[in-house]
Amino acid sequence: MPLLSIILPIYNVKNYLERCYESIILQNYDDFEILLVDDGSNDGSSDLCDLLSMKDSRVKVIHKENGGLSAARNEGLKYAQGEYIYWIDSDDWIVKNSLKIIVEKLKKNNPDILKFNYYRHINGCLEKHNSLKSGCYEKPSIVDNLLKSAVIDVSAFGFTAWSHIYKTSFLRENKLEFVSERIIGSEDFLFNFQAYMCANKIEVLDEPLYYYD
């Protein structure tokens, strides 16, 4: 069983998928599986997914009818074999050596959730988004500090799925899934709010490990 299940929801991202895929494959850590969840793409992404799976036995493809981002993430979770879940948006990419940093923290502190910071391109400039201090938070500090910060300024806090790693057993035991973005305006906020309420331990890293384009 791999330590990480990396799930990529895919819908018409043919021009970006290989960049994302290569940022994962070229890491200096390799105990992971990649689940490419093709959400009914019609731009050639489906064929590209199949091609990538032929190159590496760790890559598995799930083809499904279009249901949206949340449905694709949930579908990937059903098939994940790893101890931890990492949802990555397939038009973004991850920092070099980030998986090794993530895994070292997971093994050291065994959190239900690991949160990290990220880079974002704004007006042609690369900026680091950061609102939290590194550390390990446990109840009641999770509610008193983390959730309070998220409610005060969601954008600065970064309540996105792709800036978190989740323990698989934690998600399944608490029956945590994404509500469709076609029903609510911010599926990531609702999912993470529920997850934080259920978590006993959350590890926060100040380091930016993800590129949001």
Helix axes 45-55, 14-25, angle to 10 degrees: 20
* pLDDT for residue 18: 97
Summarised one tens digit per residue, pLDDT across range 36-92 is: 999 999 999 999 999 999 999 999 999 999 999 999 999 999 999 999 999 999 999
* pLDDT for residue 13: 97
* pLDDT for residue 185: 78
Summarised one tens digit per residue, pLDDT across range 78-137 is: 999 999 999 999 999 999 999 999 999 999 999 999 999 999 877 777 888 766 778 999
Q: Count CA atoms closer than 13 A to 15's CA, side-chain side.
A: 0
Summarised one tens digit per residue, pLDDT across range 147-176 is: 888 888 877 788 899 999 999 999 999 999
Q: Are strands 201-212 and 32-39 parallel, antiparallel or unpaired?
A: unpaired
Domains of the chain: 4-212 (3.90.550.10)
Summarised one tens digit per residue, pLDDT across range 7-16 is: 999 999 999 9
pTM over 0.85: yes
* pLDDT for residue 130: 65
Preceding amide of 140 cis, omega within 30 = yes
* Largest Cα–Cα separation, the chain: 48
* pLDDT for residue 122: 78
What 8-state DSSP symbol labels residue 90? T
What token pair was written down for 106? 């997971």
Alpha carbon distance 162, 86 (integer Å): 7
